[in-house]
Chains A and B, each alone.
Chain A
Amino acid sequence: MPVPEAIGTILAPAHQAYLLQARQMQALSFAVHIPLVCFGIAFPMLILFVEARYLRTGDQLYLTLARRWSRVMLALFGVGVVSGTILSFEMGLLWPNFTATFGSVFGLGFAIEGFSFFTEAIFLGIYLYGWSRLSPRLHFLSGLPVALAGFTGSLMVISVNAWMNHPSGFRLVNGRAVDIHPWAALLGNSYLWHELIHMYVAGYIVTGFLISACYAFGRLRGRWGRYERTALIIPLTVAALAAPVQVLVGDWAGRDVATTQPVKLAAIEGLAHTTRGASEHLLGWYTNGQVKYGIAIPKLLSLLAFHNPNAVVKGLDTVPANRQPPINVVRLSFQTMVGIGTLLALLGVFFLFTRWRRGRPPNSLWFHRAVVLAGPLSVVALIAGWVTTEVGRQPWVVYHVMLTSQAVTAAKGIPVGYATLVIVYLSLAGAVAWILRRLSRAPLPQREEAAV
């Protein structure tokens, strides 16, 4: 690994008065793209499951469900594509020096990702427009590459993010990356695996809870037939299983962060000084080197991070103040994610337990209200998780190698671009809400036209 403070840059870093806006623009674009991506990860699998059910049982209900969901998937995929395209442009528009200096190290990941998008887009075209044109079995098979590409696509993009958090596979000489081994940089990175699994499971949580939230909402409004019940149970079961698992995967992620990015961990916990047997603080606010108004649990942090109640946990004071991330942002978002994650896991366990004991899912209004809430909350957890990871890495864009302020463009007009993007994304959000309403209002036909 490169030594700390070895700074790499090819193009001359320039002063950019609007660095913060550039960062917010990037964050905004991610906040739009990533929830959509969850549907790219998990929706094909769900739809294929339902279609397989149809093939097995011949029950028309499953077919209707699969076809309706696949129209939603098409709409979300379209929006996912454009938001992803914006991200690709932003790599150059906002961070040209990052791309110019390290493009050859990490770019391969995006290039391969490009091919998985190709596969996804091509087979999605075949799947969605081929409902009654292909034989049922062939049609089902044409959906498999879509589901697979959702996985490989996130694998490659996360490998880039993992590389930024834990860079390797090159040497720096005079600010240039030399001796580059792109495969090792991307796939030989220990940091990749927890991020990938955590994100992949998050995809199922977000998709599952959001879809079931829609039907639970319908239930509260009195729409509650066999169709709705099935449409609620299937995604909810997936999400309910994934949510407790996510807590376990998150624990693993935390231990990886503790060993590779101690400063990020210190920011997550608000730990000002290196401490032996550090305690964990729930809630609270970090000021003047300590967490105020929090609930302290002695030695828990050392135990969780290093499996040893007396382990030494590095504090923020191991680096100068201008090399520390904004502590409360990181801390708050982490606590948000963990809090929501715990609630979702509890909800999931409750649902599964009731189903198992009583042989049928919980039926109370309160349960359905909770499911309605769980949908948006899971998205909040998702974004909060990424804020933890990305803001926790600040001020570095490539950890201990390149500062975000060195990566940024020298071009003018960032505020104008930012404002434009905000307007565009607001309209986009409105548009998505509109189309989803439209699609959900469409009658439940027995004879449905193709998804065109």
Chain B
Amino acid sequence: MHLYALPLIFILIGLVLYVVLGGADFGAGFWQLAAGRGERAERLREHAHHSMGPVWEANHVWLIFVLTVMWTAYPVAFGSIASTLALPLFVAAIGIIIRGTAYALRMGASGPRERAALETASGVSSILTPFSLGLVAGAIAAGRVPVGNAAGDQISSWLSPVPLVIGVLAVSVSAYMAAVFLAADAARHDQPELEQEMRLRGLVAGLVAGAVAVAGLVVLHADVHRLYSELTSGAPLVVAVISALSGLATLALLAARRYEACRYTAALAVAAVIAAWAIAQSPVILPGLTVAQAAAPHDVLVAVTVAVLAGALILFPSLALLFRLFLGGRLSEPAASPEAAQATTGRARTWASPGTLARVAGALLLAGVGLLNAADAPLAHLFGVLCLLAFIAVAFSS
């Protein structure tokens, strides 16, 4: 393992998590759209909304993570991809705006008509976004993105069989992830009917995703033969087989209502597909550009690695906390009234009289002006700023 490949591993991990977690979110939008009309559909939609609420934003940040690490560690590849595939990326971005806004608005919506309108918008964008992002991944895999500022064709680079199949695959995997997630959530909340519905949908979506994956191999064989032969020999083949097996296992587990395990095998299936692709394509990232050539200089790679590892130290415990509270039902159940949360009764402590505080604030302001606006040394500026901020804080509390 070379240092230059390490950020790529981070990117791929981020991608897997985005497909699994963010995908579940888009999939939920898909099911909301597909639910149709009527009371049962309404209940399903409500369930989907409540289940995704607390984790929506966190799930979404994985995409930001992938983008930022990509443009820091492999800037030339990022610039080439973004300029040639501008159209699908733009569509994905618009889809994300609509999805996020609909989500933010949902809590203000009253009445089924408003909700239905929002859910239609969010459902359509929930299909559009994974599809477009799938197009992007497919176009890269098909080797249709040359190095350069919009050097590839803006349409034909993604309008070809492999990207299209990957786009459909992304949508069906999202739908599958969501169904598993929602079924598990329904089971936890003792809603057997909903659970049954989501489980059935999950099985169908899983079968579809599997079929699309197989179709993908056929298309790959016909269209991008080099990648196909890499994928069907050696290590990539082993990983691909792992993916297929976990795909089958996840269906079996879903049928057996073993949701927790099912989620892990589904994640494994996704991870293995992405890994197989990465290994099959390596060492090339774009045609004529190897990962080593694309990578940023050594110091930058070290800095990125340090930042990501340090970030992970904060991130994973926080995520674990969120999901524990959330999956443990502590965040998603309807809340009790505020009175239930008892307040500690009034024991207003004051550690200084208002008069003293006001005088301290005045002194801080004067010192701040002197240091920041009259003096010229950087160190004086530092203390000046600190004085002024302290002035705001002290004056506010007085």
> Do A and B associate with each other?
yes
Are the CB atoms of B322 and A122 closer together than 8 Å? yes
Binary contact track A36-72/B, C-beta < 8 Å → 1, others 0: 0000000000000000001111111001100100010
Are the CB atoms of A417 and B335 closer together than 8 Å? no
Known: A55-B344, A122-B319. A91 touches B71 (CB 8 A): yes
Are the CB atoms of B311 and A126 closer together than 8 Å? no
Most buried by B among A54, A88, A251: A88
Are the CB atoms of A413 and B75 closer together than 8 Å? no
Which one of B83-91, B262-270, B276-284 is at the interface?
B83-91
Are the CB atoms of B373 and A252 closer together than 8 Å? yes
B104 is contacted by which of A13, A74, A104, A237 (Cβ under 8 Å)?
A74
Q: B187 in the interface, Cβ–Cβ < 8 Å? A: no
Are the CB atoms of A435 and B60 closer together than 8 Å? no
Binary contact track B127-165/A, C-beta < 8 Å → 1, others 0: 000000000000000000001111100100000000000
Residues of A within 8 A of B300 (CB): 104-105, 107-108, 180, 182
Binary contact track A337-378/B, C-beta < 8 Å → 1, others 0: 000000000000000100010000000000000000000000
Are the CB atoms of B101 and A428 closer together than 8 Å? yes
Q: A283 in the interface, Cβ–Cβ < 8 Å? A: no
Are the CB atoms of A75 and B71 closer together than 8 Å? no
Cα-based distance from A135 to B150 in the complex (angstroms): 54
A64 to chain B, nearest CB (A): 7
Residues of A within 8 A of B55 (CB): 125
Q: B231 in the interface, Cβ–Cβ < 8 Å? A: no
B345 to chain A, nearest CB (A): 5
Are the CB atoms of A96 and B80 closer together than 8 Å? yes
Please report the number of residue pairs spanning A and B whose Cβ atoms sit closer than 8 angstroms.
Answer: 359
Q: B315 in the interface, Cβ–Cβ < 8 Å? A: yes
A425 to chain B, nearest CB (A): 9
Residues of B within 8 A of A197 (CB): 385, 389
A103 is contacted by which of B78, B340, B372 (Cβ under 8 Å)?
B78
Are the CB atoms of B396 and A238 closer together than 8 Å? yes
A104 is contacted by which of B75, B96, B147, B347 (Cβ under 8 Å)?
B75
Cα-based distance from A186 to B335 in the complex (angstroms): 44
Are the CB atoms of A248 and B372 closer together than 8 Å? yes
Binary contact track A130-157/B, C-beta < 8 Å → 1, others 0: 1111111101000001000000000000
Residues of A within 8 A of B110 (CB): 438
Q: A217 in the interface, Cβ–Cβ < 8 Å? A: no
Are the CB atoms of A111 and B391 closer together than 8 Å? no
Cα-based distance from A178 to B82 in the complex (angstroms): 23
B114 to chain A, nearest CB (A): 10
Are the CB atoms of B373 and A251 closer together than 8 Å? yes
Are the CB atoms of B318 and A119 closer together than 8 Å? yes
Known: A58-B345, A81-B60, A180-B300. A133 touches B76 (CB 8 A): no
Cα-based distance from A29 to B127 in the complex (angstroms): 24
B297 is contacted by which of A104, A248, A412 (Cβ under 8 Å)?
A104
B335 is contacted by which of A76, A111, A131, A434 (Cβ under 8 Å)?
A131
Binary contact track A403-424/B, C-beta < 8 Å → 1, others 0: 0000001111100010010001
Q: Name 17 A/B residue pairs within 8 A (Cβ), A-sorted.
A: A13-B149, A99-B82, A103-B79, A108-B307, A111-B68, A112-B307, A121-B61, A125-B54, A130-B325, A132-B336, A134-B325, A241-B391, A255-B376, A411-B83, A424-B94, A438-B109, A438-B110
Interface residues of B (CB under 8 A from A): 50, 53-58, 60-61, 63-65, 67-69, 71-73, 75-76, 78-84, 86-87, 89-90, 92-94, 96-101, 103-105, 107-110, 147-151, 154, 296-297, 299-300, 303-304, 307-308, 311, 314-315, 318-319, 321-322, 325-326, 330-349, 358, 368-369, 372-374, 376, 378, 381-382, 384-385, 388-389, 391-392, 395-396
